[in-house]
Structure formats: C-alpha cells, structure tokens
Amino acid sequence: MIVMESASTGERRRLGVDAWHEPATDVETELISDLPVPVLDVGCGPGRIAAALAAQGIPSLGIDVAPAALGVAERAGATVLDRSVFDPLPGEGRWGSVLLLDGNVGIGGDPVRLLSRVRELLRADGVALVDVEAPGCASAVDQVRLLCPRSGSGPWFRWAWVSADDVEDFASEAGFVRSEIAVRAGRHVARLIAGGWT
C-alpha cells in the first residue's frame, strides 16, 4: 500500500495504485468514448486509460515522468512519451482533449498554472477531463511525500487538490469558457470547455 502524506497536517491518503494497474473501468471507458481527438493523457502512469484509448482506436498519447510506469503502459499497447506536461510537447495547440484523471490536477501544486498549460495544448474547440474532489471538500495545496512499505518515504513535492466547488473558477482563470461536472459511480469529473460548443 502506498500513501500520500501531507506535510502541514500529517494526514495520510491511501493511493489507488492497484487500480491504476487494472483495465479501465466501464465508467472510464464511457468518459473517453466520445472525446474530441487526438487525446493527451497527462500523468498516464502505467497506462490504464492510454491503453483503453488505443484499444478503441482513438489517436492518443500518454505522458509521464516515471520510466518504469511508461514501460508497463507500452506493454499494454499505449503510445507514451517520457515527458512532463510543462515540457515542450508534440501537437501543442492541436490536441482535441487532455486528461487529468486520478487526481492529476494536483501536478505541480498550482491548479491554475497546470490548467493554463492544458489550455495551451488544446485547440480552440478542445476539452479537458479533470477528476476533482466532491463538493464540500476544500481545495488545498501542500507539500506531500509518498510512503511505501518497501522503499520507505520519498522526497517532498508540491501537490494540489481541487474541489468541484472551485474548479469552475480555476478553469475560468486558466482561459476555459465553461465547465460541467458529471458524477459517475461516486466520482466527480469536470469537463472543461476551451471554447465554442463541444
């Protein structure tokens, strides 16, 4: 079991690492089935979603900075690249969809900066799918580290949590024109619209 520990509170959140190695769920398959293409999966990890996109014949790319996870994703059939979302990427400004699932809106600990970068990557009619915390949860930024029984504690890094209550404000500041929240099997997913009607 791997947990994420917050520096300010000491709170420990269990991460769904086992689920990340499972095939995409029915809910996830439904969410990705009608996205504008091509699709960029940010923080794809071992490629559950990226592989599902590939299996559906959807033009897509997964990016992550964990080479071991990318190896798993490639073996699952995903097309992947060892790259941070903040690095130069292929197709900038031409992606139909960008995914920030499994809490990846927390990357970098600055949701507006991350969403602004995502907006840069999208074309004018693109969309972003973002997992968010349930309404009533507080948005927050903190230093966190990962604790693993086998390897001990990792280095501290900045992370963020975005509430469904706040995602529209963050998205607007980042240049998105509107947002919609869908609830699927207890999961809150924001669909951020870059422009026009999608």
pLDDT at residue number 152: 85
Rg (CA), the chain: 16
**pLDDT mean across residues, the chain:** 94
pLDDT digits (tens, 9 = 90+) for 1-59: 789 999 999 999 988 777 777 889 999 999 998 999 999 999 999 999 999 999 999 99
Domain 16-129+163-193 has CATH 3.90.1150.10: no
d(CA 114, CA 111): 5
Under the banding of pLDDT at 50, 70 and 90, the label for residue 181 is very high
pLDDT at residue number 91: 97
Under the banding of pLDDT at 50, 70 and 90, the label for residue 198 is very low
Q: Alpha carbon of 166 to those of 44, 111, 181: distances in Å?
A: 24, 10, 11
| Segment 133-138 mean pLDDT | 96
